[in-house]
Structure 1
Amino acid sequence: MSTFHDIIGLHTPTIEKLDEATWRGGVGMLSPLQSLILKAVIAASTSGLGGVPLYFVGELPPHVMGFCIIFAAGLMTGCSVVLFMEGLEHCNIMYAMIYTLLGAMLIHVIGYFITDTQDFHFVGLKGANASKALLIILSMSLHSLGEGISVGVSAQSEHESIGLLVVISLAIHNIPEGIATSLLLMSRGMNVWTASLFSVICNLPQPLMAIPSFLFMETFEHLLPFGFCLASGAMTYIVCSELIPESSEKLSRSLLISTFSTSLGIIVAIAVCAKHV
Structure 2
Amino acid sequence: MTQLIQSLSEISNRYDALFVDLWGCVHNGVTAYSEAVAALQTYRKSGGKVVLVTNSPRPWKAVAEQLVGFGVPTDAYDAIATSGDSARAAMYLGAVGSKVYHIGSPGEDVVFFAPMDLVADQAVEITRVSLQEAEGLVVTGPEDSMADPDVYRADFLYAKQKGLKLLCANPDIVVDRGETREWCAGALAGLYTEMGGESLYFGKPHPPIYDLARRRLAKIAQVSDDNILCIGDGIGTDVMGGMGEGLDTLFITGGLAASEFGSDPKHPDPVRLKQWLAEQNLSPTAAISFLR
- Normalising by structure 2, we get a TM-score of 0.26
**Greater RCO (CA < 8 Å, at least 6 residues apart):** 1
